[in-house]
Structure 1
Amino acid sequence: MTDNPIASHASRPSHSSSRASRTPLSLLGTGTMGSALARAWLAAGHPVTVWNRTPARAEPLAADGATVAASAADAVAASRLVVVCLLDDASVGEALDGADLSGRDLVNLTTGTPAQGRARAAWAEARGARFLDAGIMAVPPMIGDARSGAYVLYSGSPGLFEEHGGTLAVPAGTRYVGADPGFAALHDVALLSAMNGMFAGVLHAFALIRREDIAPSDFAPLVVSWLGAMAPAAHKTAEQLESGDFGKDVVSSLAMQVAGDATLLATAEEQGVSAELLTPYMALMERWLAEGHGDEDTTGMIELLDLGRK
């Protein structure tokens, strides 16, 4: 294993490049994402056994070469490597109830929380299985396309990832984020939270121009380029958090940004746009300013988000 806390398989195996490219596997769950995963593995030459609670949703994969199992237990018995992509954590427990997991390598691609990932790991290990939890950073059309940028976060058994990393890298790139089985879900939700914040800002921006003679298609490239230019600021935030120095290399201080909020709010009012997507963040800025941090960057506001802060 690499010493890097975030490891990845840089390339996906070809049909005949390695033994991993032919590793048999079983996939439980053939919804839109599960079907995309199954087809990617099948196209790469893997024998794939599939199961779905609604059998009709698994049958189309038979035409692509998959074996359809009559039950989840039968699917588990068919392969040492078992991948689960279901609705939620409760569905995982229900599907695997009664299945013999002894000696199996269980990879859970079902979206969940860090606590669920850790509990499911303990549950699997008590039944004799190695376990990886995962978070898929992609939508189904990106699966199987090496150019899409799709990847999956994995955490849990280092040995399982080391042995099956090549197979797991077939449908999408891989990122191993640690032995703690809760880390994949934590990374997943943290990244999705950042994405939601960005989408909120994008929606507000388009709302501001909506009633003007400005084509959204003309405005969109400006939004993309501006956000792309701002995104590397995350590196500075990380440096400040690791050093604890929120006043390091400040370009636009908290006090300056709070003063500028008035213009953002006034413009929203003029344009007849609700500011409800902005005001929660602005309220945090004002609270941190009131605590005497006006000369710092906004990074210190993270303290207000820490519910355990004294």
Structure 2
Amino acid sequence: MNQASITIVGLGPMGRAMAAAYLDAGHRVTVWNRSAGKDGDLVARGAHRAAGITEAVAASDLTVLSLIDVDAMYSALGDTALEGRVLVNLSSDVPDKARKAARWAGARGAAYLTGGVNVPPSGIGQEGSSIFVSGPQEVYEEHRAALDVLAATDYRGADPGYAQLYYQLNMIMFWTAYTGWYQALAVARANGLTAADVLPYAGYTADSMRGFYTHTTPAIDAGDHGGADARLAMCAASVEHVLHTAADSGVDTGILAAHAELYRRAVDAGFGADGTPRLVQLLTQN
């Protein structure tokens, strides 16, 4: 692989991990961050510290942005000349903002790819890590090798919003599960248990979720709402038990109450005999 020159804009934990991965791969790396003091170790390893954003973008054909969101890109780049440059925005945001950003970059003569990074900073450059990418396929193919240094890229098509859509779908599953872990630990602590007491069972539950996803996917895509395995009325009763266990333990029930309300709504709408795939339809209705 040719050792390309790559600029990293944004040196939070993720941006620093990306710059380090490129240095490890032998690339020429230019770094820039709005606030000073985050690039010392990278510069010591051979990265070039740009004096400003204009120098940073001019230093490389490919600029990788790792910022808090898309709005931070506008703020960081300002009126910087972008003609002929390639921007790869790996900052988290919503799909429509990614599409707007691609139009903004295109109007200024730059090619634009969106990315959604599926690992924390510690996963950058590691086997098994992945990044959703979307935008013009020819731009992706030209720079794929450089992006694969960070993580295996999963191209999701020309729509610049799709990488963020897939990423946010993963985040929906991640954050609800992660918050559920802490909800369970709050109830456990209120009853004299520790996180270590719960961990073996949490691992089993997390592993079992793949089976639920696999089992329900064909029914959801086929519009099959049969409830032979898990009727919504039965599920609603179980969720109520969870809610009351938390309440009886003196733990905040806001998150669980929202879940219970969804299942109550399903039963009240006459879907009690249906299976859980019916929830997808219920959630998409106003």
Q: TM-score, normalised by structure 2?
A: 0.92
Residue 268 of structure 2 corresponds to residue 287 of structure 1: no
**Which is worse superposed, 49-58 or 124-133?**
49-58
Q: Aligned partners of 1:67, 1:197: CA distance in 2, in Å?
A: 40
The answer (yes or no) to whether the contact 1:59–1:68 under 8 Å persists in 2 is no
Aligned residue pairs, count:
286
The one-letter amino acid paired with 2:221 is E
Structure 1: segments with no counterpart, 5+ residues: 1-17
- Asked if the contact 2:243–2:260 (Cα under 8 Å) also holds between the matched residues in 1, the reply is no
- Are the aligned partners of 1:134 and 1:154 in contact in 2 as well (CA < 8 Å)? yes
1:156 corresponds in structure 2 to 135
Matched residue, 1:234: 213
Q: 1 or 2, which has the higher helix percentage?
A: 2
Instruction: Specify the code of the residue in structure 1 equivalent to 2:94.
Output: T
- Report the aligned-residue RMSD: 1.9
1:260 CA displacement: 2.6
> Residue 265 of structure 1: CA displacement?
3.3
Residue identity matched to 2:62: L
The AA in structure 1 aligned to 2:278 is G
Matched, 1:272 2:237: no
Q: 1:217 to 1:123 in 2, by over 3 A?
A: same
> Alpha-carbon deviation of 1:213?
5.1
| 1:87–1:270 CA distance, 2 compared to 1 (3 A) | closer
Q: Structure 1 vs Structure 2: percent identity of aligned residues?
A: 35
Alignment deviations for residues 73-113 of structure 1 (CA, whole Å, 9 cap, x no partner) = 11111111111112322221122222222221110012211
Matched, 1:81 2:81: no
SS of structure 2 residue aligned to 1:291: helix
Between the aligned partners of 1:53 and 1:261, the Cα distance in structure 2 is: 47
Q: CA deviation at 1:286?
A: 1.0
Match of 1:258 among 236, 239, 246: 236
Comparing 200-209 and 37-46, the one that deviates more:
200-209
Match of 1:283, as an amino acid? E
Is residue 285–residue 298 contact of structure 1 (8 Å, CA) maintained in 2? no
Change (3 A) 1:102 1:296: same
Amino acid at match of 1:37: M
Which residue of 1 is the match for residue 224 of structure 2? 245
Amino acid of the residue matched to residue 263 of structure 1? H
Bigger mean CA deviation after superposition, 200-209 or 35-44: 200-209
Using the size of structure 1 for normalisation, the TM-score is 0.85
Deviation at 1:191, TM superposition (A): 1.2
Match 1:28 to one of 9, 15, 22: 9
Distance between the aligned counterparts of 1:188 and 1:115, measured in 2? 13
Question: Are residues 1:206 and 2:182 paired?
Answer: no
